């Protein structure tokens, strides 16, 4: 327990495009940490099938929180949406988009995407998760 696991959190998601109903640009921000500096952070909106690297905006070295942010373009397939179960906006259904993050540190450690949570949260390093309804 002397070394923290490589970890990241999705802290904020904002939809930047409102006009185009089939494509949304999301601004995603969060933080990551490990026992040594973070080398990169990636985000995904398709459950981890594809990952997109974001930029680290602040970091001070060992044991430092690393702030990160990036943009993600999401194509929304209107045919796959459930019209009855979602609220509607401008005649279009709302859908929930979930973004996950994972971090890598300079020692070569990667955040474990399959980490199991425990009652005290000790050593938890599962992916960061955030959602937005568009």
**1 pLDDT exceeds 90?**
no
**21 pLDDT exceeds 60?**
yes
**85 pLDDT exceeds 50?**
no
DSSP codes joined into one string, 69-130: EEEEEEE--GGGS-TTTS-EETTEE--EEEEEEEEEETTS-B--TTPPP-TT-TT--PPEEE
Structure tokens at 27: 């601004």
Which pTM does this prediction carry?
0.79
Domain 7-133 fold: Immunoglobulin-like (2.60.40)
Average pLDDT score, the chain: 81
**29 pLDDT exceeds 60?**
yes
Among 17-21, 56-60, 66-70, the minimum mean pLDDT is found in 17-21
pLDDT of residue 84: 38
C-alpha closest to that of 69 among 16, 109, 113: 16
- The label of the residue with tokens 């044991």 reads 63
What are the structural domain ranges in the chain?
A: 7-133
């Amino acid at each position: 327990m002397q070394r923290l696991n490589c970890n990241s959190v999705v802290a904020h998601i904002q939809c930047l495009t409102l006009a185009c109903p089939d494509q949304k640009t999301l601004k995603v921000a969060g933080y990551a940490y490990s026992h040594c500096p973070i080398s990169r952070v990636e985000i995904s909106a398709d459950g981890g099938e594809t990952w997109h690297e974001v930029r680290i905006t602040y970091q001070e070295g060992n044991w430092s929180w690393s702030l990160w942010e990036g943009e993600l373009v999401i194509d929304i397939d209107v045919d796959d949406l459930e019209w009855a179960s979602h609220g509607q906006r401008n005649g279009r259904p709302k859908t929930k988009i979930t973004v996950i993050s994972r971090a890598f540190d300079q020692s070569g450690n990667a955040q474990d995407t399959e980490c199991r949570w425990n009652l005290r949260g000790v050593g938890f390093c599962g992916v960061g998760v955030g959602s937005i309804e568009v």
